Chains A and B, each alone.
Chain A
Amino acid sequence: MAGLILCRTKYAKRPYYISNMGVNIYSLEELCYYIYNNIYLIGTDLFDEGLTDYISEELEEKELAEQLEFLITENAGLSELVMTVLRYVDYYSEEEIDALAGTIESLDTQNASERLKLRADNFLSNKRYSNAVHNYEIIVYGQKDINLSDDFYGNVWHNMGVAYAGMFEFGDAVQCFKRAYALNNNDESLKASFAAEYLSGRKRPADSEDEQSYAAYREIETIMDHAPDEAGYEAVKKAFELRDNGQADEYNAAVNDIIDNWKFEYRNYISAAR
């Protein structure tokens, strides 16, 4: 197989911002890539006037823009909108597009809460914590679906706890994990609640009352002790080396880079979808 796909459409100078993921796209290929890899995240709301204008004006693909505009007016479903874009661009093969159509179809067979959880889980795995929390909240504070088990709702609370923890909001995370454990009776949720409690500063190992919480605290401490060996700590170590070598300017620049990076990441964690 050749393995080289000719790009037949324009690469734009000005990007289109997809706020769900906080990502800019510059071409139809990138739009296809985003859709394909985030199918649980996207809804029909992705296909709005802003996107069709961009496709028409910036990417100069008026035919596709018109097709989408028509589908939007007709209140077409997600599958139809997605297939229209993917089939327009020579990027995914027919087999890949068919497989995605199957996925979208299966999404349609799930009930609203299940679909919403998949969407929220996708936000979570992409570290879009605020968006994840927002979607989990719709499930747990919305009308309860009697067809779904306590395990399901427990897992939603658990994942919401993970999202809060990701935003360093450990107090809220503790509450989520506790509610999760009450529903799913899963040790993971209990352990997570201990961890969040510890990280929130509310409890210390010395305060621990039972063996289970004691073991959880020890585990957290072990992880913290080994933090300097983690890949994410590499940049910090390098900065310290610069400081120790007396390279003040380089040290300051490195620290600024690290902080800028953390700020950028944190903004993404907490930025909300449209």
Chain B
Amino acid sequence: MDTREKKFYVGIDLGEEYSQVSYYNCIDAEPVSVDFGTDSTECRVPTVVGKTIGKDEWFAGDEAIHGANLGEVIAVDGLLKKAVDKNPVTVDKVSVMPVRLIAGYLDYLIQAAKLAGGSDTADRVCITLENYNISVLNVLLKALNSIGYSDDAVEFAGRDESFIYYAVSQKNELWKNDVFLFEYGNKGLIVKRMYTVNERGSRIIMVHTDDMSDEVTDAMRRNKASAEYLDSRLKETAAKLFEHHNISTVYLTGEAFAGEFNTPSFIGYICDRRRVFAGDNLYCKGACYQAVAADYPLDRDIIIACKERITTGIEIRISDRGRDKIFRLVRPGINWFGADCSYDFILDGAEEAELFLSPIDAREKQLIKISFADLPVRPDKATRITISFSFTSDSRCHMMVKDKGFGEFYKSSGRVINEELLL
């Protein structure tokens, strides 16, 4: 029996101003966005929490805004920024750590998904966010831990990852060739192209981003009088970016493409021999697909190589029952946040570690030697070391070699070798 039928997954698109949440269960068998509005179309919910004045009563989203408008609630916004600042926030004379505010907000979103999906539990949560950096991620992880979600039950995604997961979770014909995403919101137009490169038997999926916000600005969509001009600018931009590419599908997202939008020549152009979809919840649903994929991975030959993913594997030469062998320590194609790992080795005459940085594309492997000269001299096979890797971005990794001694036969010297690796 497919255990997927019993599991409940939640995807969250966490924005600075607005957020969305979706869920995946066996009944719908695809992500369903949670509706927070009265007209069944409002999936966005303000990223705001609030406290009733004089009471220990907390709200989130529209309820917090509504309460604040009535003067009964003190609302707090900018939660992600406050979380990174790490300073306590005073709300109605109560000092609260930002991580607690974030935890309350995430709990609100997850509870809403569980209620909408008819589930008592959420087995896995994936959060996608634009500002994908370690400070924010650490706070979010801590917040989720505090409301009962262990590290294993949590995934994080950047926007490119969510785009990829959304696209590759559709029928194969929809991503057989390149897939374009036009995102047009208050930052202007950003266009992403998802494409696949076949390399050494793997399908490497990458995303190229074109920031077209100078050519197609936010102001243009707000100025109704220049709709015709905007239409032609969008069409020109699309024509320029589509050149030399075989395109299967185009997705439109962002406020500009929500509801009715009057850009007939642009729409006519992009719809020519291509499938076009518009919606405002692509990232949120992409996060939900990623949560599912943590348990039910995509095809093994697919390697996702967008900017949140490690595109260079790390390998080491080891001795396997007396024979030299290359052992992979870090697999390329995994998200750098959560890629931290450590392995123990026994030194058997090794004076250095031979590491190979192995890019997923056709580039040559790079050999890096880490000397063990700083470790104490002991007989062969009587030193155990831990080699650990911690990532601070997709291309930056801190390597640490720690002497563990050898039980009670040889006490640990506590010596450590540190190395920064640029992947």
Contacts and interface: CB of A to CB of B under 8 A. Distances in A.
Interface of A: 1-7, 11, 15, 23-27, 29-30, 33-34, 90-95
Contact of A6 (B324, B327, B382, B408): B327
A24 B322 contact: no
A30 B406 contact: yes
Nearest to B380: A3
Given A93-B322, A95-B322, A27 B407 contact: yes
Interface of B: 316-322, 324-325, 327, 343-351, 353-354, 381-382, 384, 406-409
A208 to B, nearest CB: 44
Contact of A2 (B324, B382, B409): B324
A96 to B, nearest CB: 9
A94 B322 contact: yes
Contact of A5 (B318, B351, B354, B406): B318
Tell me what chain B mostly uses at the interface: helix, strand, loop, or mixed.
strand
Contacts of A93: 321-322
Given A33-B381, A90-B320, A93-B322, A2 B350 contact: yes
B406 A3 contact: no
Contacts of A11: 344, 384
Given A23-B409, A25-B407, A33-B381, A3 B349 contact: yes
B384 A6 contact: no
B316 to A, nearest CB: 7
A92 B407 CA distance: 17
Contacts of A3: 319, 347-351
B409 A33 contact: yes
A2 B384 CA distance: 15
26 contacts: A1-B324, A2-B319, A2-B324, A3-B351, A4-B316, A4-B348, A5-B318, A5-B319, A5-B346, A6-B320, A6-B327, A7-B345, A11-B344, A11-B384, A23-B408, A24-B408, A25-B408, A26-B407, A27-B384, A29-B346, A30-B407, A30-B409, A90-B320, A93-B321, A94-B321, A94-B322
Contacts of A34: 409
Given A33-B381, A94-B321, A94-B322, A6 B409 contact: no
Contacts of A2: 317-319, 324-325, 350, 354
Nearest to A29: B346
B259 to A, nearest CB: 57
Nearest to A3: B350
Contacts of B408: 15, 23-25
A91 B317 CA distance: 16
Given A2-B324, A3-B350, A7-B343, 15 more contacts: A2-B317, A2-B318, A3-B319, A3-B347, A3-B348, A3-B349, A3-B351, A5-B318, A25-B408, A29-B346, A29-B384, A29-B406, A33-B406, A90-B320, A94-B321
Nearest to B346: A5
A83 to B, nearest CB: 14
Contacts of B407: 15, 23-27, 30
Contacts of A25: 407-408
A246 to B, nearest CB: 32
Given A23-B409, A24-B407, A7 B321 contact: no
B319 A1 contact: yes
Contact of B318 (A4, A23, A92): A4
A47 B92 CA distance: 67
A266 B55 CA distance: 68
A4 B322 contact: no
B172 to A, nearest CB: 38
Contacts of B348: 3-5
B353 to A, nearest CB: 6
A212 B350 CA distance: 52
A15 B409 CA distance: 13
Most chain A CB within 10 A, of B325, B354, B407, is at B407
A209 B79 CA distance: 96
A6 B329 CA distance: 11
Nearest to A36: B381
A4 B384 contact: no
A60 to B, nearest CB: 15
B324 A5 contact: no
B384 A7 contact: yes
Contact of A7 (B324, B344, B349, B353): B344
Contacts of A1: 319, 324, 349
Contacts of B406: 29-30, 33
A34 B321 CA distance: 19
A116 B324 CA distance: 40
B343 to A, nearest CB: 7
Contacts of B346: 4-5, 7, 29, 91
B400 to A, nearest CB: 16
Nearest to A17: B408
A6 B408 CA distance: 20
B200 to A, nearest CB: 24
Contacts of B343: 6-7
Contacts of A94: 321-322
Nearest to A26: B407
Nearest to B387: A4
